[in-house]
Amino acid sequence: MTITERFLNYVSFDTQSSEETGTTPSTEKQSIFANFLKEELINEGFQDVELDSLGYLYATLPSNTDKNVPTIGFIAHMDTSPDASGKDVKPRIVRNYDGSDIVLSEGVISSTEKFPELLDHIGEDLIVTDGTTLLGADDKAGIAEIVQAMVYLQQHPEIKHGKIRIGFNPDEEIGMGAHHFDVEKFGCEFAYTMDGSEVGEIEFENFNAASAKITINGCSVHPGYAKDKMINAGRVATELVGMLPTDETPETTEGYQGFFHLTSISGSCEKAQLSFIIRDHDREYFESRKTEMQEVVALLNEKYGNNIAKLELHDQYYNMREKVEPMMYIIDIAKQAIEEAGMEAKIKAIRGGTDGAQLSFMGLPCPNIFAGGLNFHGPHEFCPVQSLEKAMMTVVNICKITNEKLEK
């Protein structure tokens, strides 16, 4: 089976996660895919294949070297984003892409003006959607690359490697992917998530992240008799938004710049609710952003009284850099692996987070490597076949180089 065939098979499964259920996995359809993968791994000859009750799938490729090298791991997530449908994905391959706009379906066009990254892949074979769903390369490309790499290593015993563990988890897209990952059972000294985008990228810096939910309880009075009595919760909600910096939002920032992102707002005169995510690469700035949110809520309570605004503030994950930096040789191995696969290694910071960030703070240093897909979470998502192949060979090379360079 080619990696393209494997990937196309995987995306036929609808594995969209949900923030609404409160279960793990958050949707039963993820379990269906997990059970399919379990049987596939058994059939491919993997050892220690285990699917736990929470939908986490683990397996082992045994060592074939006499050297005592570290056990390393590769991780990808099974769910797709709640942002767009993953049901009945209908991919097609645009062979030898010529650089023109791609018509996905009537009225849905991936234009090079809007998506200039298409032009980086002229001459390649692009897997695209039919314009009605996402593709699912985030992160079924990562799963396909890891499985195909392990199969490749089994077929090429001349490539020496230590013990390799693989782990596939649910619910990454709703921030829960690492919460029940059994790091002790996984038993690795370090690992890599295959969950990045463009070829050659390595990521070991990510945002520090928090969520903020504000509930505003107003005072509803007949508008004809409301003077000095009414407190319109909806208007207070918009006032709160206006008190935050207008130039520190996702649409006005890039690179290492952090932001406040209003993800939802709803309400009436009587009650309003707002949800924000707070992000910054710098831990000190991150803490100051949380303090700023607390101060804004305090000012509104001082202005309107009766503690009308209630803030729930929760940290979500932190920048993995502080956990990876003492082990920079794992980044050097990834760089060499990428270069040996014929690419330029590009180290960049993630404007977001991955399971690897949480896993790094759980005792498993875990940088992120490209999986090759682009324009995730929507119908314009695409994945070059050549990127799948290069990512697969990067995994193979990491296993080989670890055996060559590291020994306990």
Q: One-letter amino acid identity for 232?
A: N
Q: C-alpha angle with apex 19: 14 to 24, nearest 5 degrees?
A: 75
Measure the CA–CA gap between 355 and 344, rounded to whole angstroms.
25
Question: Of these residues, 14, 79, 198, 280, which one is catalytic?
Answer: 79
Measure the CA–CA gap between 164 and 186, rounded to whole angstroms.
10
In degrees and rounded to multiples of 5, residue 76 shows phi and psi of -145, 160
**For this structure, is 195 an active site residue?**
no
Six-digit token string for 347: 């180290």
Task: Find out whether the peptide bond into 66 is cis, omega within 30 degrees of 0.
Answer: no
Measure the CA–CA gap between 279 and 295, rounded to whole angstroms.
17
Greatest distance between any 2 Cα atoms in the chain: 85
Question: Of 405, 408, 400, 383, which is closest to residue 194 (Cα–Cα)?
Answer: 383
Question: Of these residues, 14, 138, 171, 172, which one is catalytic?
Answer: 172
Contact yes or no for 175/350 (Cβ under 8 A): no
Looking at residue 278, the DSSP 8-state letter turns out to be E
Six-digit token string for 223: 């508008």
**For this structure, is 79 an active site residue?**
yes
Catalytic sites, residue numbers: 79, 172
